[in-house]
Amino acid sequence: MLAPQKPLAAPPRNYPDLHEHIKALDAAGLLITVDRPINKDTEMHPLVRWQFRGGIEEKDRKAFLFTNVTDSKGRTYDIPVVVGAIAANEEIYRIGMGVPLEKIEETWQRAMAAPIKPKLVEDAPCQEIVYTGDDLLKPGQGLDGIPVPISTPGWDNGPYTTLSQYITKDPDSGIQNMGNYRGQVKSPTRLGMNPSLELRPGIYVHWEKYRARGEKMPAAVVLGAPPSVAFTSAQKCPETLDEFEVAGGLVGSPINVVRAKTVDLLVPAEAEIVIEGYISTKDLEPEAPFGESHGHVNLQEYNAYMEVTAITRKRKPILTSIISQVTPSESSLMKRVAMEPMLTAHLRDVLGCRSVIKVSMHEPLTNLRKFIIVTMKGTASEPEVWRALTGAMSLHAAAGKYVIAVNEDIDPKNSDMLLWAMAYRANPVLDIQIIDHKDQGHGPRSKRNNGQDSAMLVNAMLKEKFPPISLPKREYMENAKKIWEELGLPALRPQTPWYGYSLGEWSDEFDQAAQDAVNGDYFKYGETLIARRRSDVAMNTEIRDL
């Protein structure tokens, strides 16, 4: 079914949608528009990746708008793709939030404390065009018509949505949950998902409830939302809060929502694209390999998949994709800017550590969670210091492998200064504690120590085979570097690692699937996964264990 041809009247609002946000970035000199053809399967992400691996300072990173998108099959797309528009640097994030950087902590605290219920509207821009039923099988009207890039060419087994907000609803309470998860494009009407169970996402809680009922779980996936909605999807909100209400709290007014066409859910009225469908609670499918934000390729696991029942979109949508994988990245900056003030508030206001000045999360290569630095006043008592360190380590199961308390004179972003403080201001026998029985959290799952981790001093040398470094293979980065130079962009200063390479755990099957993916044949591998469906395994079960 195709929606009426006349544009729908946009409901009033007090917050920017994605188009207005991109215009604001352009006006601020933070947008690079690329009009030449760019292959989404081999060129797009490697090109943008260079500003994270090429010695470009954070303040000089930009958003990239690709208006002439192609793929390895020679297809062209009528949907532009924007990468870096959410959080390529702190200024881009700040513009999306609409507040000064120093007001970020205050704004998030207000949003959590005083959420605002969304406003239900009848007509919405996100439903100007609607495809359902057999129309989804027509070329270009299913997922194949959405120019989803391959994030890590040479390793990923297909295109994955990255800035994709999965919306589900608790069947008991009726409260919706929205979380940002990757989605593997498996066929024109089938989308995978990986909900990162170590973070206990709300979508998994809902999935378990629907499974107990013997029902499929209705879901909607948003591709391209107003910045306030995108920011909220990456934040860890209490399960009793609807993220739309928190997003409303961020902007100080209700977020417009509309009823989805084929599932009983509310979706952002100003979304660029919405994918609707039902997630199986009976069978799981192999999902991945995919280059992850912990800096390695996430190997195959069994995970859920969604059968698509509708795709709705604006008449002229823009697809958002974020740079993730090896940090720093757009994904890690988006989390860091929000998580640091939330951790600071937890230590100060919940645990009563009044001497805490700020909490900093180390971003490059370690992906925020492993190193946490707590800056405290010199007057802090020893018990308060240890309470702050323990609190920073324990708030999130995946965070706090190394937690360091420092004085105000130590720059937490300067690793040399951190080593200097540890060398001259700490006596290991007195000032270091080792905490056992810690979750490994987000990262390659080592089998050592019965799969448990610890906090503080751990030998970080590689002791077993690991998945590949999740950067595009060398040939794709070198090709993207030539395009970068053709465009006259700032001179690059490559920083190791700037391309992906194997660390021993990589099969011929994965290599062939990744090669097929960059050749545009990723549906072929998606078909092979159907035969591997199982109903006797738990979600996130690693294939290598079976």
* pLDDT for position 456: 64
* pLDDT for position 3: 46
Find, among 237, 307, 222, 230, the residue nearest to 269 by Cα: 222
Cα Rg for the chain, rounded, in angstroms?
23
- Residue 289: cis peptide before it, omega within 30 degrees of 0: yes
Q: How far is CA 303 from the centre of its chain?
A: 17
Cβ neighbours of residue 227 closer than 8 Å, sequence gap 6 or more: 16, 18, 21, 86, 96, 97
DSSP state string for 401-464: SEEEEE-TTS-TT-HHHHHHHHHHH--HHHH---EEEE---SS----GGGG-EEES----S--S
* pLDDT for position 496: 67
- Per-residue three-class SS string for 108-127: HHHHHHCCCCCEECCCCHHH
Domains in the chain: ranges and CATH = 18-326 (2.30.110.10), 331-455 (3.40.1670.10)
Distance CA 384, CA 343 (A): 16
Question: Strand pairing of 301-303 and 285-287?
Answer: antiparallel
* pLDDT for position 8: 59
Beta carbons of 198 and 397 less than 8 angstroms apart: yes
H/E segment holding residue 47? helix 44-53
Cβ neighbours of residue 373 closer than 8 Å, sequence gap 6 or more: 359, 360, 361, 362, 403, 404, 405, 406, 410, 412, 418
* pLDDT for position 133: 95
* pLDDT for position 457: 44
Kindly list the averaged pLDDT for each block of 10 residues, start to end, along the chain of length 546.
54 94 98 98 97 93 98 98 95 94 88 94 96 97 98 96 96 94 97 78 91 98 96 82 93 97 98 98 95 86 97 97 87 85 90 93 85 89 89 81 87 86 81 80 74 57 65 94 96 84 88 94 93 92 84
Could you tell me the two tokens for 243?
A: 């993220």
Question: Strand pairing of 119-120 and 256-259?
Answer: parallel
List the Cα angle 492/92/104 in 5-degree steps: 130
